């Protein structure tokens, strides 16, 4: 699944989007509420995407490569783990 805003896009691999534990973790770690849990699945709150502070907490909380944060203002360059 992918959601785009003006400056930020977020992709969550469909293979992990249905993981209820991951959904809860992402919702908990994101300081600007980009992630939520809906029906035991990861949901992306599109209205919060451009609030992303590029902290990388979602990348740290998810399996390698399963969540991508893309900087649309920088030709879609992905945020990398710090």
Report d(CA 38, CA 29) in Å as an integer. Answer: 16
Alpha carbon distances (Å) from 42 to 28, 53, 73: 12, 19, 25
Mean pLDDT, residues 2-18 taken together: 96
As a whole-number percent, the residues of the chain with pLDDT over 70 amount to 99
25/57 Cα distance (integer angstroms): 10
Tens of pLDDT along 37-64? 999 999 999 999 999 999 999 999 999 9
Does residue 82 carry a pLDDT above 70? no
pTM for the full model?
0.93
What are the chain's domains? 2-78 (3.30.70.20)
**What pLDDT does residue 18 have?**
96
Average pLDDT over the chain reads 96
């Amino acid at each position: 699944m992918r959601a785009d805003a003006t400056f930020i896009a977020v992709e969550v691999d469909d293979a992990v989007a249905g993981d209820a534990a991951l959904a809860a973790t992402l919702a908990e770690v994101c300081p600007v509420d980009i992630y939520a849990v809906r029906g035991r699945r990861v949901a992306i709150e599109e209205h919060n995407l451009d609030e992303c502070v590029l902290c990388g907490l979602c990348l740290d909380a998810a399996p390698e490569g399963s969540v991508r944060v893309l900087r649309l203002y920088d030709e879609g360059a992905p945020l990398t783990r710090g």
